Amino acid sequence: MKRASLVFMLLLGFFAEAAMAQPRIVAHRGGRFEAEENTLPAFATALEAGITGYELDVHRTADGKYVIMHDSSVSRMVDAEGILENMSLSDIRALRTKKGNLIPTLDEVLSLFGRQPGLYVEFEMKTTDEKLYPEALLAIYAEELYSAVTKACPEGSTYVLSSFDSRVLRYLKEHHPDATLMLITAQGNTEESRAVASALGIKRLACYRTRTTQEQMRKAHEEGFLINLWPNSDATDAALSLGLGADFICTDKPRELCRCIDEGRLDIRK
C-alpha cells in the first residue's frame, strides 16, 4: 500500500504542469467497479454521491424499445442466453441481473437524470454490428434515440450521443446537425483518429489513454477537440489522464476519484 501511494504521488508531481483545468469526471457504465454496471441503483447511488458525469449503453429491442446494457448478449449480466436486439421488452423485463436488478429502460434512465439539471451524460449507441443494425434500422434507431434524448434533456445538462460506429454518427450529423456527437475509438488520440472525427464534422473524441501522448493532446486542443480519455480503472489511472490534459476522465471508480479530490490527494484545478 505504501508503494502504491508513493507511485500515485510521483505521478501527480510528474504531470502537475500538464494538468488541464477542471476535467469532467464521467462514471463509466455508472461506475462499474463500484456498483452493478448500467443499472438504476448504480446511477442513483452515484447521483447521491454527487457524481455529475455518466456514460451508458443503448440497445433497441425487437419490438422497438430501448434498454441499457453494455453487451448485446445478456449472458454476462444475467443467468440466461439471448441477444437484446432479438428479444422483446417484456422478455427482457422478466430477467434479473446476477445481483437481482432489472435491466433498465432508456425512459427510466432519462427520468432519473432529468430530475437533476447540470449533468453530462454520454449515450453510447451500440450499433456497430451491421447484422443487428442494417442501414434501414440504423436510421430508425438514430431518429428515435435522438428524439428521446433531446426531449428529455433538462436545461443546463449536456447529453452526448457517442459511438464507435461512424455510420450512425454520420447519419445524425447529416439529419440533426444540432446533435452533440462524439466518436469513440480504441486507438489513441492520434492524427488518424482526429481525421476520422473531423471527416464526420465532430470535435469530440473518446480515445484510449495508454495510446495517447501529451504532444497529441496539445495538437488536439489546438484543433479545437474535446478529449475523453479511457479506460481509468482507479485514481492512479485518472491521474495519468489528468496529466495528459483530458477534458473528460471516464472512470470505473468515480466515487473513489471524487474522494481523492475531496481529501486533497488529487487537484483538478488550474
What's the pLDDT at 21?
Answer: 58
103 and 68 Cβ atoms separated by less than 8 Å = yes
Question: Per-residue pLDDT tens for 63-108?
Answer: 999 999 999 999 999 999 999 999 999 999 999 999 999 999 999 9
What's the pLDDT at 158?
Answer: 98
pTM: 0.91
What is the phi/psi pair of residue 179, to 5°?
-65, 140
Name the architecture of domain 22-262.
Answer: Alpha-Beta Barrel (3.20)
Neighbours of 144 (CB within 10 A): 15
Q: Is the pLDDT of residue 17 over 70?
A: no
Q: Is the pLDDT of residue 20 over 60?
A: no
Task: Parse the chain into domains and list their residue ranges.
Answer: 22-262
Identify the sign of the CA torsion 196, 202, 205, 206. negative
Residue 93 half-sphere exposure toward CB, CA atoms < 13 A: 10
Neighbours of 175 (CB within 10 A): 12
What's the pLDDT at 5?
Answer: 47
